[in-house]
Chain A
């Protein structure tokens, strides 16, 4: 029972890895937060849907929708080491007054190592404090745009080798309640066409609560997020001063269901304050759904 609850305390922070029409492509940043407890390997599928509206000289020009699905897995390689990997598939759609464009294909896969630096438990074995640091590589294997145009951000890949990193902290507040904070920073490199998306920071903090439901666990959380994107640069084109740069911050809601073999996750991001691409892009939020099959780890 306590063990299961300690697992629940670590289950919610996992939304940073997604395609991004501001920062570009799959794997703009990695979150290692998903089920940090070392008792499980898992494999799952998750879907992240993001919506934006674009403006041209202050006039609404188009709506963009990016649907990203990931085959996502984690292996507990040792008591303090986790290997995480994902293969994404993304569809990007832009709808305008006079037509629409559609970009679909495999995105950039990534592999990621997460090291558990600190994991203190109470006398009952429940997690009290947890701290992990991770880093990995995003491989430029997905389809990306050679042209540096307005459709570039809808492609499933970026064409660049990127290095995502993350820091995750969890503190038990009281029985069934915990505080979770996570920050990720991705170092980005140029793609073969000379285009380089700016590095980006993702961060979140939230309180979570666990409720027992027929022997399983319902875990919900409420908090906030802040994402920052540095400007893109190009060696071959004259980009604007703030291309793809900006920030967005808002509210994050989680609802998750955990049984002995399955974890079902859902998450909503609602932006409240934002300044993206000189105001020419407005994020309308994101929705994430996931299902994971849990495999008990033999690592002790």
Chain B
């Protein structure tokens, strides 16, 4: 009888151990840009609207939105959200103040976990001087 009890406890302990050690699956993030469309043009002084959504198959760990002037390499806008959520909606504005017409790269980096796994999406458009 004791053997049955000990065996049952041992199996239960091993099960708990393995369950506890099982690593959560890294979620998959889907990044969608609603605005702008690829290769859209933004006139000098106008606002560039960057609008879209991020949806995950599980909990995501934040995201960063950046806009880079590809001609100069300068990051002209960056914003980071660190709150955990299954989904995000972003809608930010950047006013075109370039001194020479330049290609812009809009990039969204999503933190999938705290191990450094990320999901990214980029979109290019043009800022006109």
Contact = CB atoms under 8 A, between A and B. Distances in A.
Interface residues of A, number: 13
Contacts of A60: 89
B81 interface: yes
Interface string A114-154: 00000000000000000000000000000000000110000
- Chain B interface bracket (under 10, 10 to 19, 20 to 34, 35 or more): 10 to 19
Contacts of B88: 59, 97
Contacts of B87: 59
Given A96-B91, A98-B79, 19 more contacts: A55-B89, A56-B51, A56-B53, A57-B34, A57-B89, A59-B53, A59-B88, A59-B89, A60-B89, A61-B91, A62-B91, A96-B90, A97-B63, A97-B88, A98-B81, A98-B92, A99-B79, A149-B49, A150-B91
Given A56-B89, A59-B89, A98 B80 contact: yes
B65 to A, nearest CB: 6
A57 B91 CA distance: 12
A29 to B, nearest CB: 29
B83 to A, nearest CB: 7
B90 A98 contact: yes
23 contacts: A56-B89, A56-B91, A57-B34, A57-B53, A57-B89, A59-B55, A59-B87, A59-B88, A61-B89, A61-B91, A96-B90, A96-B91, A96-B92, A97-B79, A97-B81, A97-B88, A97-B90, A98-B65, A98-B79, A98-B80, A98-B92, A99-B79, A149-B47
Interface in A215-273: none
Contacts of B79: 97-99
Interface in B59-96: 63, 65, 79-81, 83, 87-92
Interface of A: 55-57, 59-62, 96-99, 149-150
A99 B89 contact: no
A146 to B, nearest CB: 12
A99 B92 contact: yes
A97 B47 CA distance: 19
Contacts of A150: 91
Nearest to B64: A98
A98 B87 CA distance: 14
A62 B49 CA distance: 15
B67 to A, nearest CB: 12
Interface in B34-50: 34, 47, 49
Contacts of B81: 97-98
A97 B51 contact: no
Nearest to A97: B81
Contacts of A98: 65, 79-81, 90, 92
Nearest to A147: B47
A64 to B, nearest CB: 13
A60 B55 CA distance: 12
List the 7 closest A-B pairs by CB distance, nearest first. A98-B79, A97-B81, A56-B89, A61-B89, A59-B89, A59-B87, A98-B92
Q: Which of A55, A62, A96, A97 is most buried by chain B, counting CB atoms within 10 A of its CB?
A: A97
Nearest to B86: A59
B1 to A, nearest CB: 57
Contacts of A59: 53, 55, 87-89
